[in-house]
Amino acid sequence: MAECPAVPVIGLIGGIGSGKSSVAREFARTGSAVVLDADHAGHLALEQADIKSRIRSRFGAEVFDSEGKVLRKQLAQLVFGSSSRHRQALHDLEQILHPAIREVFDRAIEQARAEGTAEVILLDAAVLLEAGWQDRCDAVVFVNTPPAIRRERILIKRGWSEEELQRREASQLSLEEKQRRSDYHLDNSGSLADASRQLGQFISQTVARCREQSGSS
């Protein structure tokens, strides 16, 4: 890993249903961390007038309700899938959304570092690698969760169908590729507290290294 600032950014990635958001929230509850949620940033972006205008031009009025709000479920049906049509639609949507999400991240990172109250910034983003946001991270953690646990969360708790799961997974890098491009693998087969403890240990090591490099005490 390259040199990093005194308040590092650590990206969290994993398979769909890996529980990375829960791990991030649990650590933030007990540790000194700012959590940046890509899903939340994406929802905020979908409320921007210029973003909605571009989505309407590309995908049509059918992805909007009567009040002009984006219907995320309808939009998802157009962009998630393995066909060339789905891949092109997803690419077009990402070209609209990702720059806006990146701006949200950049502002939040600058603000957190200026305030100086957190020891680490956690960037929770399922498509962190796909979007190229790893260049804002000083380290990337892969949350490794057994397939059976992930499927239970997805099919039962989220209410997705098997087809929906396959469509979503087809739009992301493979788990093997995500693991290969990560700096640390977190075992999330046990309790949330244990996963948070593992993350805390890695964060402590990363923060210590970054502070040493930056000359901070």
CATH of the domain at 207: 3.40.50.300
Alpha helices in 68-153 (DSSP H): 72-79, 84-115, 128-131, 147-151
In which order are the strands placed within the sheet that holds 33-37? 33-37, 120-124, 9-14, 139-144, 184-187
CA distance 124 to 47: 20
Structural domain contains residue 135: yes
Per-residue model confidence as pLDDT tens digits over 149-190: 998 888 887 888 888 888 888 889 999 999 999 999 999 999
Has residue 141 been placed in a domain?
yes
In total, the chain counts a number of residues equal to 217
How many independent structural domains does the chain possess? 1
Lowest mean pLDDT among 7-11, 27-31, 101-105, 208-212: 208-212
Q: Cβ(131)–Cβ(5) under 8 Å?
A: no
| Residue 45 near residue 39, CB atoms below 8 Å | no
Q: Rounded to an integer, what distance in angstroms lies between the CA atom of residue 86 and that of residue 203?
A: 38
Look at residue 1 and tell me if it is in a domain: no
Q: 106 in a domain, yes or no?
A: yes
Rounded to whole angstroms, the Cα distance separating 86 from 47 reads 23
Residue 52: inside a domain, yes or no?
A: yes
**Residue 152 falls within a domain, yes or no?**
yes
- 23-70 confidence digits (pLDDT tens): 999 999 977 899 999 999 999 999 999 999 999 999 999 999 999 999
Domain that holds residue 208: 9-214
